[in-house]
């Protein structure tokens, strides 16, 4: 009985571990961006560049500066791409927050935010 229970615990902890590593490494995610996450820059960017850890479909991209919505040239892409460049037009200065969603190769919808500020 004891042995069976130990096997049971080993099996379930193995399952939990693989579920955790799937969570950590399975999803598509932002790998790099320009401007970088959390950065403080002196000049307003013309574009926001996003680089992902694999091909993703960018399905939503909303930008606010100090809480005010800023229009971009974003349009949802039919085919997955590893990187995107979004033109952010006349965005002014302040706290930028890009709120975007991607769908990766595993079909999961992942929501991310990118914050930076322009002085
Ligand atoms: Cu996933």
pLDDT tens sequence across 8-48: 555 555 554 444 444 455 789 999 999 999 999 999 999 99
Q: What is the CATH number of the domain that holds 81?
A: 2.60.40.1220
Does residue 22 lie in a domain region? no
Distance 115 CA to ligand 1 centre (A): 23
Does residue 108 lie in a domain region? yes
Distance 26 CA to ligand 1 centre (A): 5
pLDDT tens sequence across 37-56: 999 999 999 999 999 999 99
Question: Residue 108 belongs to what H/E stretch?
Answer: none
Does residue 14 lie in a domain region? no
Query: What pairs with residue 21 in β-bridges?
Result: none
Distance 108 CA to ligand 1 centre (A): 5
- What average pLDDT does the chain have? 85
Could you give the number of structural domains in the chain? 1
| Cβ neighbours for 50, distance < 8 A, ≥ 6 positions apart | 30, 33, 58, 83, 84, 85, 86, 100, 114
Confidence check: pLDDT of 89 > 60 = yes
Q: What is the pLDDT of residue 11?
A: 52
Q: And the tokens for 85?
A: 């460049």
């Amino acid at each position: 009985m004891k042995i069976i229970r130990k096997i049971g615990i080993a099996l379930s902890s193995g399952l939990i571990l693989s579920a955790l590593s799937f969570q950590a490494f399975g999803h598509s995610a932002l790998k790099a961006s320009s401007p970088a996450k959390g950065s403080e820059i002196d000049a307003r960017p013309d574009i926001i560049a996003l680089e992902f850890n694999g091909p993703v479909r960018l399905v939503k991209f909303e930008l606010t500066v100090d809480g005010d919505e800023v229009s971009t040239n974003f349009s949802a892409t039919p085919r997955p791409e590893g990187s995107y460049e979004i033109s952010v037009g006349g965005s002014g200065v302040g706290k930028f927050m890009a709120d975007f969603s991607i769908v990766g190769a595993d079909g999961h919808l992942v929501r991310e935010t990118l914050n930076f500020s322009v002085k």
